[in-house]
């Protein structure tokens, strides 16, 4: 392929950090992703009972902390006592060749700490932050998140952060709270984009899952003529090729090092 024919290289966004090889949403996973050269970091954010934003995907703690209970009913101190990394490699203690794990990199990660890491990096790193819904705190999640971003001076048009949600209500809420921030409307069904049009702003970014690209490429190509495309979760060469063919701007992947290496070969 000649250089003129090569597609534009999309941004590589580390999904919950370098989560293919590290426990998702741990500081360790994000530090690895940064070292691997990820252009951006993706995270999910939830609110604790005492008002702290934490990077956790599931509403309950069973999968990632082997603990009963909901994130929204726990105080931050309760979550700090939990191990959010052992589930990824439960036999590590029996592996004599396994590296010792730093407990400080394995506990719950606050949104504030992740923002600090991005702020202190030696290059620009973007953030794709998903607010989870439904939640008992409803719009308070977006309000607290925008307030936190404002503390870092990251609510203007040059902000490294964008906010994503499957809830168009949440996306509209972010628009009202911080009109200069980029927002991404996440989709896992073919009709979601068209149904959002009566309430959507023209500059919404479309965030389809990669399954939609595989099953409905013509639809995604049509959406791509109306909006920028940020696609999740892209972990194979075939799916990267599909994203390139459809003009995707950002790919969200569990495997940032693999994605970067592959894109270096083909773009």
Query: By C-alpha distance, which of 26, 98, 19, 44 is closest to 257?
Result: 19
Asked about 57 being catalytic, the answer comes back as yes
Sign of CA pseudo-dihedral 240, 162, 167, 223: negative
Active site residue: 15, 25, 52, 230, which one?
15
* Cβ partners under 8 Å of residue 121, min gap 6: 34
Among candidate residues 25, 52, 57, 133, the one labeled active-site is 57
CA distance linking residue 99 with residue 266, whole number of Å: 34
Q: Enumerate the active-site residues.
A: 15, 57
């Amino acid at each position: 392929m000649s250089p003129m024919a090569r597609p534009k290289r999309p941004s590589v966004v580390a999904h919950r950090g370098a989560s293919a090889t590290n426990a998702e949403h741990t500081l360790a996973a994000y530090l690895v992703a940064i070292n691997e050269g990820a252009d951006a970091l993706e995270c999910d954010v939830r609110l604790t009972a005492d008002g702290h934003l934490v990077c956790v995907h599931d509403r309950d703690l069973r999968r990632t902390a082997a603990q009963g209970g909901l994130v929204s009913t726990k105080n931050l101190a309760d979550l700090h006592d939990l191990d959010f990394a052992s589930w990824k490699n439960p036999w590590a203690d029996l592996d004599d060749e396994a590296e010792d794990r730093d407990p400080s990199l394995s506990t719950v990660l606050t949104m504030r700490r992740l923002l600090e890491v991005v702020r202190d990096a030696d290059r620009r790193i973007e953030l794709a932050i998903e607010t989870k819904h439904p939640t008992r705190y409803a719009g308070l999640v977006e309000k607290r998140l925008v307030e936190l971003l404002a503390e870092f001076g990251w609510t203007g048009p040059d902000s490294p952060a964008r906010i994503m949600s499957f809830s168009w209500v949440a996306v509209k809420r972010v628009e009202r709270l911080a009109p200069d921030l980029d927002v991404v409307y996440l989709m896992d069904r073919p009709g979601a984009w068209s149904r959002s049009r009566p309430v959507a702003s023209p500059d919404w970014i479309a965030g389809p899952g990669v399954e939609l690209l595989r099953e409905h490429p013509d639809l995604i190509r049509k959406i791509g003529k109306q909006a920028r495309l940020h696609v999740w979760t892209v972990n194979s060469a075939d799916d990267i090729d599909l994203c390139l063919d459809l003009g995707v701007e950002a790919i969200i992947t569990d495997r940032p090092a693999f994605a970067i290496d592959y894109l270096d070969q083909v773009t």
